[in-house]
């Protein structure tokens, strides 16, 4: 059972609220209901006598990090899939996942939640079809939006697939904890027919469900959608699936199906041009950047600078541990700075305030403000941070998951980097 959080007061060498300037030698007070009660200079934040207190003099407190695209049920496959070619890799992942029992999937998902906490990540946008991540987040008290995948490349499968999806979403929502929201994910153009995309759009709009989908990820996908060729097209022909009605681009294909009207989170969006980005903007879609994953498969680099110029809502995701070595978001952030020319402060927003907006949670998390959830990431910095507030964001980006000292979800310590192990939430001593 998830423990009710105590009244908690954290002080640190610096507070990086994202919503305002850096606070040197600041503090955050989290009420017993898990929401932030006060943020400010240490001497101005109340000191209730019954509060649990902890001080991190050589650290910075950030909003809990938001990883907008994960597959935590695949955590157990870390390092197990060697293929770099995307078509071969995805077939191997599918075979390996089919061999996992429900118990293994649940254990894998729980390990993924704990791995996220070790990286300072308090919220995930997770995609999968087993339901294991809904259960893991609910049992452990993690926060996330979990997108239930649906598949069906043959148009004749659409009616049955949407009926099964509707039932599944209702089941998952009934057992989801208060920190978990259930959405839907029509997987990708090579696994979902145009008819099924349209049916998912109708369901999502009707029931106000969040939507995420993999799109414009690989050249193989582009070959299928634009020319009806490539390995996915050959696979379809071998299975007797009708050929795709081609479009100018994967995004143009989605627009024609009607799914963009559901304002989906577009995962990857690597193979996109100006027209595609305009369509995403016009439909108020967000984008999940998964740069390390794209690099591993040779997919290229998305047009991040053009996305920023258009005001697209952007967040960063790691994708699954079948693709990348770690859930640590900071290698991706450094890539954004290097390849797209973003400043350190703008990059940090991609895993805090902007990422929260991508997951439709910006009224609840993403910045350190009174009334928002007390989701916190405490990161180690070298002594002297009080004298360098202007460069704090750059210094934060230099580190990695090993610099996370503690992670809190709604004021509850879910990871203590100073402890030998973290089987359960950690209690701090009271004053």
Residue ranges matching CATH 3.20.20.140 in the chain:
65-358
pLDDT band at 429 (very low <50, low <70, confident <90, very high): very low
Q: Which of 39-43, 274-278, 284-288, 339-343 has the lowest mean pLDDT?
A: 339-343
Sheet (strand 52-63) strand order: 36-41, 23-30, 8-15, 52-63, 376-380, 404-409, 412-416
Q: How far is CA 237 from CA 75, 85, 242, in A?
A: 32, 20, 7
pLDDT band at 427 (very low <50, low <70, confident <90, very high): very low
- Please give the structure tokens belonging to residue 341: 């020319």
What's the burial of 149, exposed, middle or buried (CB within 10 Å: 0-12/13-18/19+)? Answer: buried
Q: What are phi and psi of 55, to 5 degrees?
A: -120, 135
Residue pointed to by tokens 């030998």 = 420
Mean pLDDT across 398-417: 95
Q: What percent of the chain has pLDDT over 90?
A: 83
- Please give the structure tokens belonging to residue 169: 């979403």
State which CATH number among 3.20.20.140, 3.30.70.2740, 3.90.1170.30, 3.30.9.10 fits the domain covering 65-358. Answer: 3.20.20.140
Mean pLDDT across 59-79: 94
Residue ranges matching CATH 2.30.40.10 in the chain:
8-63+367-416
Helix (H, G, I), strand (E, B) or coil at 205: helix
Q: What is the CATH number of domain 8-63+367-416?
A: 2.30.40.10
Q: What distance in Å separates the CA atoms of residue 347 and residue 199, rounded to the nearest whole number?
A: 36
Q: Report pLDDT digits (tens) over 1-53.
A: 555 557 999 999 999 999 999 999 999 999 999 999 999 999 999 999 999 99
Contact call for residues 232 and 90 (beta carbons, < 8 A): no
Mean pLDDT across 292-299: 89
Task: Flag whether pLDDT at 279 surpasses 80.
Answer: yes
Task: Flag whether pLDDT at 420 surpasses 60.
Answer: no
DSSP states of 55-118: EEEEEEEEEPEEEEEE-GGGGGGTTT----SHHHHHHHHHHHHHTS-HHHHHHHHHHHHHHHHH
Q: Report pLDDT digits (tens) over 160-176.
A: 999 999 999 999 999 99
pLDDT confidence of residue 91: 85
């Amino acid at each position: 059972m998830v423990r009710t959080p105590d009244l908690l007061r954290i002080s640190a060498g610096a507070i990086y609220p994202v919503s305002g300037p850096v606070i040197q030698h600041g503090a955050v007070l989290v009420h017993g209901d898990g929401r932030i009660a006060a943020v400010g200079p240490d001497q101005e934040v109340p000191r209730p006598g019954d509060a649990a207190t902890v001080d991190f003099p050589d650290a910075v407190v950030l909003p809990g990090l938001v990883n907008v695209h994960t597959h935590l049920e695949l955590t157990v496959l870390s390092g197990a899939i060697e293929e770099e070619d995307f078509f071969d890799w995805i077939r191997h992942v599918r075979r390996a996942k089919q061999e996992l029992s429900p118990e293994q999937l649940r254990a894998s998902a729980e390990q993924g939640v704990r791995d996220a906490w070790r990286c300072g990540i308090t919220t995930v946008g997770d995609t999968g079809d087993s339901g294991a991540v809904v259960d893991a987040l609910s049992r452990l008290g993690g926060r996330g939006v979990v997108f239930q995948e649906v598949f069906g490349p043959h148009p004749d499968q659409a009616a049955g697939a949407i009926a099964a999806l509707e039932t599944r979403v209702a089941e998952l929502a009934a057992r989801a904890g208060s920190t978990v929201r259930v959405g839907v994910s029509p997987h990708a153009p090579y696994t979902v027919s145009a008819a099924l995309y349209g049916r998912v759009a109708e369901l999502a709009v009707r029931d106000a469900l969040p939507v995420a989908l993999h799109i414009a990820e690989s050249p193989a996908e582009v070959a299928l959608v634009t020319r009806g060729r490539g390995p996915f097209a050959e696979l379809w022909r071998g299975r007797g699936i009708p050929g795709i009605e081609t479009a100018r681009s994967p995004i143009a294909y989605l627009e024609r199906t009607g799914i963009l009207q559901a304002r989906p989170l577009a995962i990857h969006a690597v193979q996109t041009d100006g027209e595609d980005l305009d369509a995403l903007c016009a439909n108020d879609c967000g984008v999940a950047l998964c740069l390390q994953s794209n690099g591993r498969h040779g997919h290229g680099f998305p047009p991040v600078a053009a996305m920023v110029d258009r005001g697209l809502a952007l967040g960063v995701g790691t994708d699954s541990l079948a693709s990348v070595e770690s859930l640590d978001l900071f290698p991706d952030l450094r890539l954004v700075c290097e390849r797209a020319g973003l400043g350190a402060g703008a990059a940090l927003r991609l895993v805090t305030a902007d990422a929260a907006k991508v997951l439709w949670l910006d009224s609840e998390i993403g910045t350190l403000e009174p009334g928002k959830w007390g989701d916190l990431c405490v990161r180690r910095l070298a002594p002297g941070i009080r004298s360098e507030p202007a460069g704090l964001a750059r210094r934060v980006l230099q580190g990695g998951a090993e610099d996370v000292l503690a992670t809190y979800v709604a004021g509850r310590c879910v990871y203590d980097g100073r402890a030998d192990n973290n089987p359960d939430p950690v209690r701090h001593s009271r004053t």
